[in-house]
A = this chain, B = another copy of it.
Amino acid sequence: MAITAATELDRTSGSAEHAHTAVWIATVLRGRIAAGELTPGSKLSEQSLSMALGVSRNTLREAFSVLAGESVVTKIPNRGVFVASPGIEEVREIYRVRRMIEPAAALWGEVTPEVLENMEAVVERAQTARDAGSVADMADANQALHSAVVGLAGSESLRTLMDRVLAEMRLVFHAMASAPDFHSHYVDRNVQLVERLRAGQREDAAAGLRAYLDSAEAELVGHLARDATAEQPRTS
């Protein structure tokens, strides 16, 4: 799995410009991690990566700094940096955050007709994905919906926080041994959520969201706990 000693990057032909190497490299790595090419827990060696990406060790280090700031990557002093590999505690934290900001946005955000239409398009996308059995599309649509919910708050910072949280969620899914159709149960809930928002039933929407998040967390944590115990037995 290690470091996919990649074909040297072409920094001129890419769609985005050279864009100040360090942040560019951070973007590349973020992308590879999100795409699952770099799996959670794997080590990012400075030497190998700087070679593979064709940048100096110093520049790569700067990129690591920004990724560590986003907690996409974990830095252990004198040991190196590793792709973040969120466990049960991290999942709990994720849901602590979501359980605050999503219902808050639903309750107090500004619900405009355009946003509502976008949301309806997204849930529809989720429904057709479910019918087609496409787990990936379903997950995407699900995340898009909840991102849009937070968007109701109109706050750039909260959006950023939510995006980070959702990125961490994707890592959780990547790290999970078996990938159950985690999302299919929740499509209907999302439909209901959007309906409530359209009807102006803010408090119901918020309460429903909290219930949804509670059960999603429980399911995920349960699954992870099972995975953990299944993986544990080694030397002893």
Q: Contact residues of A with B, CB < 8 Å?
A: 20, 22, 58, 61-62, 65-66, 68-70, 77, 93, 96-97, 99-101, 103-105, 108-109, 153-158, 161, 165, 210
Contact = CB atoms under 8 A, between A and B. Distances in A.
Contacts of A93: 155-157
A169 to B, nearest CB: 13
A212 to B, nearest CB: 14
A20 B78 CA distance: 9
A20 to B, nearest CB: 6
Contacts of A20: 77
Contacts of A77: 20
Given A62-B61, A65-B62, A69-B70, A108 B210 contact: yes
Nearest to A156: B93
- The residue among A65, A97, A101 with the most chain B CB atoms within 10 A of its own CB is A65
B65 A100 contact: no
Contact of A158 (B61, B70, B96): B96
B99 A108 contact: yes
A100 B96 contact: no
- The residue among A68, A70, A96, A104 with the most chain B CB atoms within 10 A of its own CB is A104
13 contacts: A22-B65, A62-B62, A62-B65, A65-B66, A93-B155, A93-B157, A99-B108, A100-B101, A100-B104, A100-B105, A100-B109, A157-B165, A161-B161
